[in-house]
Structure 1
Amino acid sequence: MQRLILFFAAGSSLVMGIAQAQAQAQAQAQAPVRGAVIGQLLDESGKPLANAEVTARYQSNPGGVSLSRTARTDHHGRYRIEVRQPLGVWTVHATVTLMAEGTPMRVAMTPDNAAPFAGNMGAVRNFRLRFADRTVDDPYGVGGMLVVAAAVGDYTPLDEVTVSLEPVGGGAAIERSLRSTGEGWVVTGLRPQQYQVTARHRGRPMLVSAALTPHRDYDWRSAYVGGFERTSPGIYQMRVEVRSR
């Protein structure tokens, strides 16, 4: 019995020692490094994001000197950027490129701490992939944007229209009311994938088509299936028009 107790105690000490070593290694990995900014990038499920782009930016005012330094994350989602010189205040930003039906979509990542920091002191800045319909810094949020217009000759009030977006590859459907922005009536913060789009006005189904262009006529259907197109740097849109039946 005494040998069993001793063995159990030794085994417990070993487990505790391993746990403490792991905790210490994690703490060291997340400790600020003087003259450098370090951190880790994770996807929505908490898995490391490899080959994502992280940029440290320096801006002096007065003086007008600005520069940036960029790094890529390793297979653990970690990065390190030297920011010791020039002396001053730095900020960090991160993006990841996702594929949506063969189309690359560059998405900004959300920092756990967006505060500027002194480069010579160093900092830890971790990022997470989060889609949001709007943020403090961007009224269009993070992700793709559905832009909805009324068809030519249709006068349905778009503030009374709701749309449903069902992911073609599976997943929970998204149902939203449209909101008015400088881009028109939109739904924002959408993941980069194809969707089946339907629309209703006060509960009544509407017809949906890809937006009219000089090269494309209407094709009215009860649902429209499509993905996002890059309309300008960092902006990805799916444009449709709706009309009453």
Structure 2
Amino acid sequence: MSGEQAGVGEIEPGVLKGRVVDGEGKPLAGVQVVADNQLLYNSNLIVPTDADGFYRVETNVATTFHVTATVTRQYNGQTYSLDLAPDDDNSFAGPTGAVRNFTWKLTGQRADGLGVHGSSVLIYLDYRDPQDPEAYLQDENVELTLTPEGPLIDGSQGSTITRKSSRTGDGSGVHDVPVGRYRITATYEGRPLRVKPRNRGEYAPEIVADFETIMTGVYQINLELAL
């Protein structure tokens, strides 16, 4: 395999190959690489990466392929499956062959334009202000502080995130957050907000939370906030 690995950057006819690494360039073993046969339904080619992060599969059939890669990790008692970032997201003709390398990115825009690699911390704000019955609180005035509790899902040391709430199609909150366990506090125009997991528990000045599975590959933390 060493000769193939040394020439991984050279396209070979009828072969898909590449390497998968984490954000520090370290190889990722056991990542599932899928070459999606875009002509025939349910006839994809699936291959895992080896101990050095390399993979190789024959594609010498008259069709086009689009390649994706997914890393699955157990983290704080939950299973997460996350899509990796390709260096080239274009489809290719099987007989031509291709090199497709992937990197595990915890944040940032996806190559396919469909969202970001990070996850969302969504807020559900009690819009009442106990000090002003006429007031109506606005989501965009909420600021969250997320402090990592231990390493992030890829084993790296995260940084504290302090960010104002914004709205996307998922809802209001802080978006494109690396999957990890966080200690969370919130303020409203500088005033402390009480925090709790949505639909359970009691309000507290802060909570520690993990991302929960919404559907395969989609993870969120959902919070209720109140003055």
Task: Return the TM-score normalized by structure 1.
Answer: 0.80
Could you tell me which residue of structure 1 aligns to residue 26 of structure 2?
47
What is the identity percentage for the equivalent residue pairs of Structure 1 and Structure 2?
Answer: 31
CA contact 1:83–1:122 (8 Å) conserved in 2: yes
Q: How does 1:131-210 map to 2 (within 5 A)?
A: 131-135=106-110, 137-138=112-113, 140-151=115-126, 153=128, 155-169=136-150, 171-210=158-197
Runs of 4+ in 1 over 6 A off after TM superposition: none
| CA–CA separation in structure 2 for the residues paired with 1:160 and 1:202 | 6
For 1:44, what is the secondary structure of its paired residue? coil
* C-alpha deviation, 1:152, in angstroms: 7.1
| CA–CA separation in structure 2 for the residues paired with 1:138 and 1:186 | 21
Q: Which amino acid aligns with 1:82?
A: E
| CA–CA separation in structure 1 for the residues paired with 2:98 and 2:177 | 31
Could you tell me which residue of structure 2 aligns to residue 108 of structure 1?
83
| CA–CA separation in structure 2 for the residues paired with 1:209 and 1:80 | 47
| CA–CA separation in structure 2 for the residues paired with 1:101 and 1:127 | 25
CA contact 2:107–2:178 (8 Å) conserved in 1: no
| CA–CA separation in structure 1 for the residues paired with 2:108 and 2:124 | 19
Structure 1 segments unaligned to the other structure (5+ residues):
1-21
CA contact 2:124–2:225 (8 Å) conserved in 1: yes
User: Deviation digits for residues 99-120 of structure 1, max 9, x if unmatched?
Assistant: 3212111110000111111110
Q: Say if 1:162 and 1:134 are closer, same or farther in 2 by CA, change over 3 A.
A: farther
| CA–CA separation in structure 2 for the residues paired with 1:108 and 1:203 | 37
User: Deviation digits for residues 141-177 of structure 1, max 9, x if unmatched?
Assistant: 1133211111375642111112111001164201122
CA contact 2:120–2:175 (8 Å) conserved in 1: yes
Structure 2 segments unaligned to the other structure (5+ residues):
130-135, 152-157
Q: How does 1:1-245 map to 2 (within 5 A)?
A: 28-60=7-39, 65-66=40-41, 67-85=43-61, 87-135=62-110, 137-138=112-113, 140-151=115-126, 153=128, 155-169=136-150, 171-212=158-199, 216=200, 218-244=201-227
Q: How many residues align?
A: 213
Greater helix share, structure number: 1
Q: Which amino acid aligns with 1:220?
A: Y
Q: Which amino acid aligns with 2:53?
A: G
Tell me how large the CA RMSD over aligned residues is: 2.1
User: Deviation digits for residues 51-103 of structure 1, max 9, x if unmatched?
Assistant: 0110001213xxxx333110100000011122111x12211000101232121
| CA–CA separation in structure 1 for the residues paired with 2:176 and 2:52 | 26
Q: Structure 1 residues 73-82 or 180-189, which shifts more?
A: 180-189
Q: Say if 1:138 and 1:229 are closer, same or farther in 2 by CA, change over 3 A.
A: farther
For 1:159, what is the secondary structure of its paired residue? helix
Q: Structure 1 residues 100-109 or 197-206, which shifts more?
A: 197-206
Q: Say if 1:221 and 1:139 are closer, same or farther in 2 by CA, change over 3 A.
A: farther
| CA–CA separation in structure 2 for the residues paired with 1:31 and 1:139 | 29
**Over alpha carbons, which structure has the higher Rg?**
1
